[in-house]
Amino acid sequence: MTGKQSKAFEEGEGDAWFARNEARLLSFDPVQDLACRVLKDVQCAPSRVLEIGAANGFRLAALRDRYGCEVVGTDASSRAVEDGKRRYGIELHCSSAESVELSGTFDLIVIHFLLHWMDRASIPILQERVSELLVPGGLLLLGDFYPDSDIDVPYHHLPSQEVMTYKRDYGALFAHSGDLQLVGLTTGDHQDMQARTGVKSEDRIAIWLMERAVS
């Protein structure tokens, strides 16, 4: 069942987010992007990449150009999906994160600044899908807020709908599933999305790199 948060993004906020950010996405620089830098630093060489919450696939296009890999993305915004197909020629699917239905497996899955918007009941569903889609030995890259303790903040773009922003230690949450091991953690500042120490708890972000266990 689709929760309140997912429903809000499926029914218009996903498209509204893309409209607000489209110009910024066009100036995306993978050299400055913290997620892309982490992958480069660990000498990642994926062959098939999935990004859940990919917008129009701007980051996937950069990863495809860098690694020559196959890329697939999903997003709740039909406007973003259509733009990405036209602009980058990427395989994109319009769906909420917990409704991802794809065939095959991936050796890198990216979930970047999506989890804080999701219904809490949808997180375990997404974790299960990640376990099904990520190959043993594959990498999961999570990017999101990283506060000292849980923080719930009203989502300011939808004040009348009681949609929340949930700031959590999502690396610990995904590691708790048992088949993912933390292999890298980079922290930074939400103000400029760059690595930095001394950041206020509510503004701290993290890039978690997790490896699926090989049984």
CA distance linking residue 9 with residue 7, whole number of Å: 5
The reported pTM is 0.96
Q: Which residues contact 158 (CB under 8 A, 6 or more apart)?
A: 8, 13
CA distance linking residue 55 with residue 76, whole number of Å: 8
> Residue 186, Cβ neighbours under 10 Å: how many?
18
Residue ranges of domains in the chain: 4-212
CA-CA distances (angstroms) from residue 154 to 143, 166, 212? 20, 9, 33
The domain 4-212 having CATH identifier 3.40.50.150: the answer here is: yes
- pLDDT per residue of the chain (215 residues) written in tens, 0 to 9: 467 888 899 899 999 999 999 999 999 999 999 999 999 999 999 999 999 999 999 999 999 999 999 999 999 999 999 999 999 999 999 999 888 889 899 999 999 999 999 999 999 999 999 999 999 999 999 999 999 999 999 999 998 888 999 999 999 999 987 899 999 999 999 999 999 999 999 999 999 999 999 87
